[in-house]
């Protein structure tokens, strides 16, 4: 399903009073079997100066994690980095005057401005982005093959992790990817594989770096569950996006305002701004990349 069509279908359900305004529906994982205490919440880790890295497929994907990125960078002053694999040139141009010289260039400039707004380092690659309509999307492993024709995305991500040395890596869920987009799933699989290899001394390159925590951002809103388009659980942690960010502005408000910089994507981002309740509580699943492995080359 095209992301805009997908969002429209879910947002239409806000007319139902029983579910309107509900964001993340938590299916919390049980406490550790050995009775040991749970690790400190993500916000506490951020308060200690955690460096945060977001790994995604497209310009504008950061709206899913934007409240966390803003809390880290704007409120706490922590270093934040964004690694984005495509320029989104397979999408549509929502500008009445058109996108010149081309959509990729315009979306690249939009992403640059967004990164500046978040005070984040940006590494923006220009890999293949499957063109609309969704019915023409190649399968995930075929997209990965096309990416590898240009660069090894895993090696590129290992290098980025070792260079930035994040404490926290955020990415999509690897089997559904928030909207079902194969490139979201692919970005997640590359990210978790790279986290594992970045800590391995046997992997050539810069000095190894162990990431303390790797999180999947989960789309577990009740609205999306009702239309059977939600990421699978469980949820191990939630993040309150209404926490303060700056000047009386919440981190959610900061994220919503930042979406206006993605002017070419005014339809999708307008839908996000029209339904902030879906982004008030973010669902997270902490993953162990050594135990939970998802191969980017796995055939669909």
- The residue ranges of every structural domain in the chain are 3-8+41-287
pLDDT score recorded for residue 212: 97
Rg of the chain in Å (alpha carbons): 18
User: By the 8 A CB rule, do 11 and 271 touch?
Assistant: yes
118: closest CA among 65, 170, 43? 65
**pLDDT computed for residue 87 by the predictor:** 98
Type and span of the H or E element at 147: helix 140-148
Written out in words, the top-level CATH class of the domain with range 3-8+41-287 is alpha beta
**What is d(CA 91, CA 224) in angstroms, rounded to the nearest whole number?**
23
Residue 134's pLDDT is what?
A: 86
pTM recorded for the entire structure = 0.91
pLDDT given for residue 125 in this prediction: 98
- pLDDT tens for the chain, 300 residues long, are 344 544 544 444 443 333 334 567 665 554 554 555 678 999 999 999 999 999 999 999 999 999 999 999 999 999 999 999 999 999 999 999 999 999 999 999 999 999 999 999 999 999 999 998 888 999 999 999 999 999 999 999 999 999 999 999 999 999 999 999 999 999 999 999 999 999 999 999 999 999 999 999 999 988 778 887 899 999 999 999 999 999 999 999 999 999 999 999 999 999 999 999 989 999 999 999 999 999 999 998
Reduce the DSSP state of residue 225 to 3 states and report it.
helix
> Where does 18-109 show beta strands of DSSP type E?
52-56, 80-86
What's the pLDDT score for residue 228? Answer: 78
List strand residue ranges (DSSP E) for the chain, in order.
52-56, 80-86, 121-127, 168-172, 213-218, 237-240, 244-246, 249-250, 281-287
């Amino acid at each position: 399903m095209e992301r805009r069509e997908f969002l429209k279908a879910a947002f239409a359900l806000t007319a139902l009073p029983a579910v309107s305004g509900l964001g993340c529906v938590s299916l919390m994982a049980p406490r550790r079997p050995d009775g040991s205490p749970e690790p400190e919440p993500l916000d506490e880790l951020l308060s200690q100066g955690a460096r945060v890295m977001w790994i995604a497929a497209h310009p504008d994907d950061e709206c899913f994690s934007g409240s966390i990125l803003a809390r880290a960078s704007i409120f706490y002053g922590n270093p934040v980095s964004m690694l984005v694999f495509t320029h989104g040139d397979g999408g549509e141009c929502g500008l009445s005057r058109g996108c010149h010289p081309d959509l990729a260039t315009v979306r690249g400039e939009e992403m640059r401005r967004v990164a500046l707004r978040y005070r984040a380092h940006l590494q923006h690659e220009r890999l293949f982005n499957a063109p609309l309509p969704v019915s023409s999307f190649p399968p995930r492993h075929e997209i990965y093959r096309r990416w590898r024709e240009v660069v090894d995305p895993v090696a590129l991500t290992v290098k980025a992790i070792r260079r930035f040395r994040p404490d926290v890596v955020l990415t999509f869920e690897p089997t559904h990817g928030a909207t079902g987009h194969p490139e979201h799933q692919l970005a997640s699989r590359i990210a978790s594989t790279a986290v594992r290899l970045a800590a391995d001394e046997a992997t050539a390159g810069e000095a190894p770096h162990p990431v303390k925590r790797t999180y999947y951002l989960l789309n577990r809103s009740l609205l999306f569950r009702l239309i059977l388009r939600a990421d699978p659980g469980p949820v191990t942690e939630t993040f309150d996006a209404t926490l303060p960010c700056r000047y009386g502005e919440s981190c959610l408000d900061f994220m919503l305002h930042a979406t206006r910089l993605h002017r070419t994507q005014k339809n999708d981002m307008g839908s996000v701004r029209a339904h902030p309740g879906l982004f008030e509580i973010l669902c997270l699943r902490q993953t162990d990349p050594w135990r939970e492995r998802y191969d980017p080359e796995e055939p669909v």
